[in-house]
Amino acid sequence: MMHMSFFQMLRAKKELIPLVGVVTFAAVGAVSVSIYSLFKTDVIINKTGNPEPWEAIDPTQPQKLLTIQQKWKPIEELEKVKKLTK
């Protein structure tokens, strides 16, 4: 019994096939979302290179995985403060 390969074990115990499928699907999903998140502009890995990384994010481009009817318009008060501080 100890010398069985993984696929031989699945043939012998068919009730494990759905469990293996669900766990594999969850693992692939977790890895793919992690890799996807690394390439987004709002994820900062190196915080020492840019002390204010939120200034480099384009507000017109959606930052979510799914965006439904999102409109962006600048807030006047914040724009005034930004001009005064620069």
Convert the pLDDT of each residue in 54-83 to its tens digit.
777 777 776 666 767 767 777 888 888 888
**Whole-number pLDDT of residue 56:** 74
Task: Note whether 64 and 42 are within 8 A (CB).
Answer: no
Convert the pLDDT of each residue in 24-43 to its tens digit.
999 999 999 988 888 776 66
Split at pLDDT 50, 70, 90, the class of 2 is low
Q: Tell me how far apart the alpha carbons of residues 4 and 11 are, in angstroms, rounded to a whole number.
A: 10
Q: Kindly state the DSSP code that residue 13 receives in the 8-state scheme.
A: -
